[in-house]
Structure formats: structure tokens, C-alpha cells
Chains A and B, each alone.
Chain A
Amino acid sequence: AQKVTQAQTEISVVEKEDVTLDCVYETRDTTYYLFWYKQPPSGELVFLIRRNSFDEQNEISGRYSWNFQKSTSSFNFTITASQVVDSAVYFCALSEGWDSGYSTLTFGKGTMLLVSP
């Protein structure tokens, strides 16, 4: 079973629409970290956010917001008033293994977001 599932392969929206990218993870660890990265057409992965398993407080950064819910093992990402520059592939990732002293980072398969003018 996938440890990080991004069920939405592609999403197309029109500029100014709000869009939510889903991420569901699976782990048996009590200590873990969740991440979101953005990959624009240039290819470089850009770090967006890191959350630890003990902090379920939602976070907002400009037009970006993240909703972390341990009860549903989800870490969803919302872009408000989307812009063409938001077009990219977005990856959710899980870092686990802290309970055993060895951690790895596992990525989902990504969601391609296309924002049209």
C-alpha cells in the first residue's frame, strides 16, 4: 500500500478559483513529519511547508493554507484565488521512522495543477 496517496492526478481550474490538493498518508509511527513541495515546469522542487505529527494547527501563508487532520491521516493543501503561476506539480511527502531512530522521506506521486487565465 502506498504510504502517501495523492488521488488527484491532474486538476484544472480557472484563475481566481480556489483549489484543494488532497494528501492521505499511512504510518504506524507516533512521530513523523509531513511536507508539501512544488515542482514548476523548470523541474526544481521548491519546499513549501513542514509539519510535525504533534502540531495539528492549521497554517496559512498568503494564499496557501494547510489542513492537517490526524483522525483522517490527511494533510490537504488549499490555494485561494489561484493564479497562472501556481501551475505546477505538487508533491506531498512523509518522513517517518523517528521512533526507530532512522528516518526516510516518501513522496506521493504528485498532483499536476493547471491554472488557466
Chain B
Amino acid sequence: SQTIHQWPATLVQPVGSPLSLECTVEGTSNPNLYWYRQAAGRGLQLLFYSVGIGQISSEVPQNLSASRPQDRQFILSSKKLLLSDSGFYLCAWSAGTAETQYFGPGTRLLVL
């Protein structure tokens, strides 16, 4: 069966520091991968998605970037964090564009 991992689970970072969140998927090949952010108020916002290695699409221009160095690895990064980057970051995968998205456990990021 497929599983999706995210780490770290919780992160507290000062403003201006760099960020690297990692997401890996097991048990499947060539998944579509997604990064979402959930800020206070509960809505989920799609940040990035990838249909293959090195292929990244950005939905919202912001302080963040994403990379997919391996088939089942998706990384969310920032060079300098802002207070507004605080939130709950969720990674998801799907078998294809038409398929259901399955979510990881998430990373809670607090920028102080």
C-alpha cells in the first residue's frame, strides 16, 4: 500500500531564516505531488504541484519554492521566511491528474 511521509512534524523558525520541508511517497511510481498550505481559518491553498521529476507548477506567487529531485520526493523551500509563512503545510499525492489526492500528516510551521 502507499504511504506518504512529511517531516519535520513541527518547526519553529525565526523570520528571515531558510526553510526546507520534505515529503516522500512510498509504494507507487510517478505520482503527482502537491503542496498545500492551511492558514488560520482552515482553508487549503494549493501552492505547487508536480507531474514528474523536475516539473514544478506554481499556483500562487510567493516567498516559497518547490523542487522534485526524485520521483517520490517533493521539497518545499524558502530562502527567507516571513511571518505570513506560518501555517500548516500538507503534502499530497495522486496516481494521476484524474485521481484522488491522498494527504500526508502535515508540518506545522511557526515563524516568529
Chain A, 73-117, contact with B by CB distance < 8 Å: what is the 0/1 string? 000000000000000010100000010001111011110100000
B103 at the A interface (CB under 8 A): yes
**Which residues of chain B are within 8 angstroms of A44 by Cβ–Cβ distance?**
90, 103-106
In the complex formed, the residue of A with least CB distance to B92 is A45
**Which residues of chain B are within 8 angstroms of A112 by Cβ–Cβ distance?**
42
Q: How far is the CB of A68 from chain B (nearest CB, A)?
A: 16
Task: Give chain A's interface secondary structure class.
Answer: strand
Q: Which of A42, A98, A107 meets B105, CB within 8 Å?
A: A42
**Which residues of chain B are within 8 angstroms of A45 by Cβ–Cβ distance?**
44, 90, 92, 103
- In this complex, how many residues of chain B approach chain A with their Cβ under 8 Å: the count is 19
Classify chain A's interface size: 20 to 34
Chain B, 76-112, contact with A by CB distance < 8 Å: what is the 0/1 string? 0000000000001010100001101111111010000
B46 at the A interface (CB under 8 A): yes
A90 to B50, CA, bound (A): 26
A98 to B102, CA, bound (A): 19
